[in-house]
Amino acid sequence: MASKIVYILIAITAVLGFLSSPAALVLGFVYRIVFDHPFQKYLAKSISYLLKISVVGLGFSMFADETLRTTVEGFNLTLLSIFSSGSIAFILIKILKIDSKLGHLITSGTLICGGSAIAAVSAVIKAKGSTISIALALIFIFNSIALLVFPPIGHYLSLTQEQFGLWCAVAIHDTSSVVGAGIEYGEESLKVATIVKLSRTLWIIPLSICSMFIFKTKGEKIKIPYFIILFLMAICINSIQILPEDATHLIVLIAKRLLIMTLFLVGTSISIHEIKSTSVKPIVFAVILWVFISTFSLIYILNQ
């Protein structure tokens, strides 16, 4: 009963706007250490649905022209980072002799969109449950670290709102942490990070198709991120100003609050047991790949 009460109180505190993105994530992580999760079986779906609702809600703060411009500006970096990091990952998997499916899932999560990419690709390549759990645990750990350290690094390097948003979208794995870091850095950063990350999410489709050929699987369903269509619809509605400005502001505010609550749920999903049970090689692989894509994208952005 105590675990349920504490869980609900923290969630309500997040929704009411009393927690920042990093604080919500850290509280979730601490909660997982102290308590047994009372709603474990609902956790994955709750995170997925809340994140999608939040992202669609954020669409009501954006306009079609800026969305198109930002997508085009981020395309080159997205393309370069995916293929350069993918090449590095292929070499590292061979050198470190990591299980091919585990290496492929970690690579997918790092290059595209964290847990969503892992979920989509794991179904295509028929990965074992233990393999999926390890990949997700590593991705969520690095998401958490990125959400905490990226904003201070951005301020130290005097990155503009647009530069930081672009960096987040490329170098942070999961959409929840990308948007969380964007919220911390500023309004413009949030818009850029969200737009570029969601355009990057569409790479799940070609990634899933390539995965079928690499692992020689057939007849598997490819998960398409349909919620992006709703996000684009929200942008269109906001662009032609169907709704009153007060209404769109309220929707965006609710979306941000739900996103912070989602980050608390993400924190409670991080499993120390999964990390402890993982051998050193996959961790080293994930670290090198993350450091490479973070450094590569930052250098690219600073030199534009």
Question: d(Cα 91, Cα 88) in Å, to the nearest integer?
Answer: 5
Distances (CA, A) of 2 to 26, 31, 34, 46, 264: 19, 12, 11, 21, 17
pLDDT at 220: 62
Per-residue pLDDT of the chain (304 residues; tens, 9 = 90+): 788 888 889 889 988 888 888 888 888 888 888 888 888 888 878 888 888 888 888 888 888 887 888 888 788 888 898 899 889 999 999 999 888 888 989 998 888 887 778 877 887 888 887 788 788 888 888 888 888 899 999 999 999 999 999 999 899 888 888 888 888 898 899 888 888 888 888 788 888 888 888 877 665 666 777 777 888 898 899 888 888 888 988 998 898 888 888 888 888 877 777 677 777 888 899 999 999 999 999 999 998 7
pLDDT at 194: 87
Phi, psi of 240 (to 5 degrees): -95, 5
pLDDT at 159: 93
Question: Residue 175 is encoded by which pair of tokens?
Answer: 């959409």
pLDDT at 32: 85
- Report how many domains make up the chain: 1
Question: d(Cα 259, Cα 252) in Å, to the nearest integer?
Answer: 10
CB atoms inside a 10 Å sphere around CB 226: 8
pLDDT digits (tens, 9 = 90+) for 94-115: 999 888 888 989 998 888 887 7
Rg (CA), the chain: 19
The answer to whether residues 102 and 282 touch, using CB atoms and an 8 Å cutoff, is yes
Closest CA to 146 of 126, 169, 112, 116: 169
Range of the domain at 61: 2-302
The answer to whether residues 174 and 117 touch, using CB atoms and an 8 Å cutoff, is no
Question: Residue 133 is encoded by which pair of tokens?
Answer: 């759990």
pTM over 0.85: no
The answer to whether residues 163 and 151 touch, using CB atoms and an 8 Å cutoff, is no
pLDDT at 219: 59
Residues in the chain: 304
**Helices within the chain (DSSP H only):** 2-15, 21-34, 40-58, 64-96, 100-108, 115-125, 129-156, 161-171, 175-185, 187-201, 204-214, 227-239, 245-269, 272-276, 280-302
The answer to whether residues 6 and 31 touch, using CB atoms and an 8 Å cutoff, is yes
The answer to whether residues 3 and 38 touch, using CB atoms and an 8 Å cutoff, is yes
Tokens 């609550």 belong to residue:
261
Question: d(Cα 41, Cα 292) in Å, to the nearest integer?
Answer: 35
Q: Alpha carbon 89 to chain centroid distance?
A: 19
